[in-house]
Amino acid sequence: MAKLKKAYFCQNCGAQASKWVGKCPSCGEWNTYVEEIIEKGNSNSTVKSSQSKSKPVAVQDVENQPQLRYRTPNQELNRVLGGGIVPGALHLFGGEPGIGKSTLLLQLGLAWQGIKVLYVSGEESQQQIKMRAERIGISNKQCFLLAETNLQSILQHLEKEAADVIVIDSIQTLHSSLIESSAGSISQIRECAGELMRFAKQSSTPVFLVGHINKEGSIAGPKVLEHMVDVVLQFEGDRNHMYRILRSAKNRFGPTNELGIFEMQGSGLKEVANPSEILISNRKEQLSGSAIASSLEGMRPILIEIQALVSSAAYGTPQRSATGFDLRRLNMLLAVLEKRCGFRLASKDVFLNLAGGIKVEDPALDLAIVSAILSSTEDIPIAPKVCFAAEVGLSGEIRPVNKVDQRIQEAQKLGFEKMFISKYNLKSIQTTDFKIELISVGKVEEVFNKLFS
Ligand code: TYD
Ligand code: MG
């Protein structure tokens, strides 16, 4: 076998050394050196480059090729991917342990009739996967399992099997025999992902890589994987809740603002086509501190229940806690209420929760949050069938939000009768188009009167 040339590189500044060193002599960082292959056997780069056929082309002369997409049987996944899977695309699928990454991808393979899927697992045995497959139900007879962790052996199988879609679960368990470091190390991840990318591009086969995430919530390895792949999907959710959310953090072939919602059941993940109904369905009694926001995730409006609890601080420093929402934004809204409406919130504990364990970053939630806090402070329930969609600015002004007509339509569809919006949004819509009563507000002070009078 031809000899490999390897060296150690600092992951911080890129300095090179022939041996591992603890402290980088060039940038002074500790523990940043990893082994990498710099030349593989008989490849001769100078010969290659002189024979290269690539040449620069003016942008307008580049030929248009229709973007082919395979629609998967999973509608939520299609939505997040921007319509379907692009041939040759390398996808990275990240998420906390136990969130359902393996389940979702196995389910995809088992449901996709007529497509040959090869599911390579380095984590579970074929028997274990079979047990899971039986829970989910097997409808695709062409879903193959391979329990293997050696990259070279996997690549041989991939060439031989010629599957239509490949799943690798997970990239951290693979190891290439060309590198000595253990599976999961940065150099192994980079090498294995690089080889799989080459395979995906050369054979135009879409590949899904499952990636573990670390304590901080990013995919293990300093962003190497995210940079290499075409699509980064993140599977999130609270393990104690049933709902799981699939987002794309990067997509070279489509938008990144779409969201897929699933529910974990005894027989795998079920697609949730109509999330609003579930996220607010269990409201029977009227309780203070609860308000409904009409939010928009990607192209899809979702009604979300906001729950707030305001109580006197038991200890000196009041506590502020937010689940599913940015804590700094909550603090800002509290400061606005204190300054503009004269509510003494500085000595209160404030807890905020988005029902269903979902996480949202839509500024249109602001008005519902402010209303939920007011309702809890005064202990007056907000009337049922009332919802909100507006942003709150620092000076207490109620600001307009985008796509307000879609938000109104969704609220109307679910039987809401009144909706608070910014008065600056009225210009962009025809109020007569809607049956729902629109209450326009311009300042946060007005909200309280219009809500509770
Ligand atoms: P898993 O898919 O193995 O998660 P990951 O690959 O992200 O680590 O685990 C999913 C969890 O969901 C596991 O704790 C068991 C549970 N589960 C169900 O509730 N229903 C099911 O049908 C399956 C297959 C798993
Ligand atoms: Mg798994």
Inter-residue contact 103 to 244 (CB < 8 Å): no
Q: Using a 6 Å cutoff on CB, does residue 170 contact ligand 1? A: no
Q: Using a 6 Å cutoff on CB, does residue 94 contact ligand 1? A: no
Say if 347 falls within a structural domain. yes
Q: What is the pLDDT of residue 152?
A: 95
pLDDT in tens, 352-390: 998 877 888 899 999 999 999 999 999 999 988 899 999
132 class by beta-carbon count within 10 Å (0-12 exposed, 13-18 middle, 19+ buried) = middle
Q: What is the pLDDT of residue 46?
A: 47
**What is the rounded CA–CA span in Å between residue 106 and residue 208?**
11
Inter-residue contact 390 to 403 (CB < 8 Å): no
Q: What is the pLDDT of residue 100?
A: 92
Inter-residue contact 94 to 208 (CB < 8 Å): no
**259 shares its domain with 378:** no
Q: Strand (E) positions, 237-369? A: 243-251, 259-265, 268-271, 290-297, 300-312, 320-323, 348-354
Question: What angle do helix axes 444-452 and 366-378 make, rounded to 10 degrees?
Answer: 60
CATH number at residue 200: 3.40.50.300
Strand-pairing partners, residue 451, are none
Query: Rounded to a whole number, what is the distance in angstroms from the first to the last CA of the chain?
Result: 84
Q: What is the pLDDT of residue 307?
A: 93
Q: How far is the CA of 267 from the centre of ligand 2 (A)?
A: 16
Inter-residue contact 352 to 323 (CB < 8 Å): yes
What order do you get walking across the sheet with 320-323 strand by strand?
320-323, 348-354, 300-312, 290-297, 386-389, 418-422, 437-441
CATH number at residue 305: 3.30.230.10
Q: CB 427: neighbour CB atoms within 10 A?
A: 7
Nearest atom (ligand 1) to Cα of 268: 22
Q: Using a 6 Å cutoff on CB, does residue 356 contact ligand 1? A: no
**198 shares its domain with 107:** yes
**282 shares its domain with 326:** yes
Q: How far is CA 100 from the centre of its chain?
A: 13
Q: Using a 6 Å cutoff on CB, does residue 264 contact ligand 1? A: yes
Q: What is the pLDDT of residue 37?
A: 76
The half-sphere exposure of 48 on its side-chain side, counting CA atoms within 13 A, is: 4
**264 shares its domain with 281:** no
Q: What is the pLDDT of residue 45?
A: 46
Q: Using a 6 Å cutoff on CB, does residue 268 contact ligand 1? A: yes
**32 shares its domain with 81:** no
Strand-pairing partners, residue 262, are 244, 271
**248 shares its domain with 298:** no
The position carrying tokens 């309702």 is 375
Strand-pairing partners, residue 421, are 389, 440
Q: Of 273, 293, 324, at which residue does a domain stop? A: 273
Q: Using a 6 Å cutoff on CB, does residue 97 contact ligand 1? A: yes
Domains of the chain: total? 3
> Three-state DSSP class for 312?
strand
- The residue segments making up the domain with residue 197 are 71-273
**How far from 119 is each of 39, 80, 107, 229, CA to CA, in Å?**
31, 21, 11, 19
**329 shares its domain with 213:** no
Can you give the pTM of this predicted structure? 0.79
pLDDT < 50 stretches in the chain: 43-47
Q: What is the pLDDT of residue 322?
A: 93
Nearest atom (ligand 1) to Cα of 135: 22
Q: How far is CA 81 from the centre of its chain?
A: 11
Q: How far is the CA of 93 from the centre of ligand 2 (A)?
A: 11
Q: How far is the CA of 106 from the centre of ligand 1 (A)?
A: 11
